[in-house]
Amino acid sequence: MKNNKPNLFLFLFLFGIADLLKAQVISTGDKNADTITVVDEGVAVTPSSIRLFLRPGETIIKEIKVTNKTKRVYSFSAAFNDFNMGENGKPQQMDSSFRKFSLSKWAVASPMFFELQPGQMQKVQLTVTIPSDESGKVAAWTIMSIDQVAKREQVVTASSDAKSVALGVIPSFGFGIYVYQNPPDAGVPRLEIDKFEKTTDGKDKEKRLLLHLKSEGNAIGFCHSYIELTNISTGEIIKLPVRHFTILPGFERTIYFSLPTKISKGKYSAMAVIDYGSKEDIKAAELELLIE
C-alpha cells in the first residue's frame, strides 16, 4: 500500500506556524493526553496517540475525530510521516536504515481529503494491516498528519517582466497523531541506563538530574520514570515529579528532572527508577550528589 509522504520537516514547519493564525496548537503526542486542541474554540483532533499491539496477519481500524468549532470552513488532508526519534523525544526525518520500522507502508487513511463546515465533525478511519511474514514481527511507528489545505494565490512581482509572478505563502496549521505498533512477538523492551548525573542548564543555571537511556531490544518502551532524593543527614525524602516518555528500539533518550529550587543544602542519595512495562524487571540507578 502506498501513501503520499510529504517531507517531515515541511510538516513540522506547518505544524509550528499555527501561532501566526492565532490558532495555537497544543500537541501532546508523547504524553498521556487524549486530545490535541486549538485554543479559543478552534479545531480539535482526538486522540493524540494510538498504541497498537497487533500480531502478524491482523488488521485493525481506528477512528480519528476532527471537529471544527470555528465559524470558518476548513479543508484538510490526511497523510503519513515516518520518523526517527531524537534524544529529546522530538521527531526527525527517518533514515533509510530504519525503514523496516516504517508503519506508513501498512497504513491507509480514509478519507484522505475532506472539508469541514462550522460546527461539523469528521471521522477519519485509520486502517492498519500487518503482513503475516517475518516483517510483521517487528515494532513500527509513524505520524498520521491532519493538515489544513490552503489555496496559494499568485502574487504579481515588481519585476520588469510583466508576466513574472510568485506564489504567496499561506500560513496553515496541522496536527500529528503518533501511531505505535508493538507486536507481542517483539518481546519486552531492553533498556539500559547509560548515564545518571547532576547537570546545570546553561541558560538559567537551573540544577537538574540527567538520565540517559539506550534501547537495545526490538520493542517500543512506554516508560514511567521517577526519582527519589534522600537527605543523608536528616533522612528527608523528596520525590520528583513522574516523567512519562516513549523510547523506540535502537534509539536513545535523555530525560531531565529539575531539582526543587528550595531544596536544603547537603549530601543526598538519588534513586532513579524506570518502569517500562516488564512484569519481571525495572531499571534503577543510584547517585550521590552534593547540593550547595
Please give the Cα distance from 226 to 275 (Å, whole number): 9
Assess whether 173 and 91 both reside in one domain.
yes
pLDDT tens profile 28-64? 344 444 444 444 478 999 999 999 999 999 999 999 9
Assess whether 204 and 237 both reside in one domain.
yes
Residue 287 lies in a domain: yes
Residue 2 lies in a domain: no
Q: What is the pLDDT of residue 230?
A: 97
Residue 92 lies in a domain: yes
Assess whether 101 and 72 both reside in one domain.
yes
Q: What is the pLDDT of residue 246?
A: 93
Assess whether 135 and 261 both reside in one domain.
no
Q: Which domain holds residue 200?
A: 191-291
Domain boundary among 144, 169, 186: 186
Residue in 247, 253, 255, 242 with CA at minimum distance from that of residue 208: 255
Residue 1 lies in a domain: no
Q: What is the pLDDT of residue 123?
A: 97
Structural domain count of the chain: 2
| Selected residue with higher pLDDT from 22 and 277 | 277
Assess whether 206 and 77 both reside in one domain.
no
Q: What is the mean pLDDT of residues 193-202?
A: 87
| Residues above pLDDT 70, as percent of the chain | 78
**pTM of this prediction?**
0.77
Q: What is the pLDDT of residue 201?
A: 72
Assess whether 98 and 161 both reside in one domain.
yes
Q: Indicate whether 18 pLDDT > 60.
A: no
Residue 56 lies in a domain: yes
Q: Is the torsion defined by CA of 219, 224, 230, 235 positive or negative? A: negative
Assess whether 18 and 153 both reside in one domain.
yes
Residue in 233, 231, 227, 226 with CA at minimum distance from that of residue 268: 231
Q: What is the pLDDT of residue 218?
A: 86
User: Average per-residue pLDDT in the chain?
Assistant: 82
Q: What is the pLDDT of residue 146?
A: 95
Assess whether 138 and 226 both reside in one domain.
no
Find the CATH number of the domain harbouring 30.
2.60.40.10
Domain boundary among 153, 186, 219: 186
Domain boundary among 186, 218, 237: 186
Assess whether 109 and 162 both reside in one domain.
yes
Could you check whether the bond before residue 111 is cis, i.e. omega within 30 degrees of 0?
yes
pLDDT tens profile 98-144? 888 999 999 999 999 999 999 999 999 999 999 999 999 999 999 99
Q: What is the mean pLDDT of residues 76-96?
A: 89
Please give the Cα distance from 14 to 33 (Å, whole number): 22
Q: What is the pLDDT of residue 112?
A: 96
Count CB-CB contacts under 10 A for residue 167.
9
Find the CATH number of the domain harbouring 259.
2.60.40.3480
Assess whether 171 and 219 both reside in one domain.
no
| Selected residue with higher pLDDT from 216 and 57 | 57
Please give the Cα distance from 8 to 18 (Å, whole number): 16
Backbone angles phi, psi at 151, to 5 degrees: -70, 140
Residue 101 lies in a domain: yes
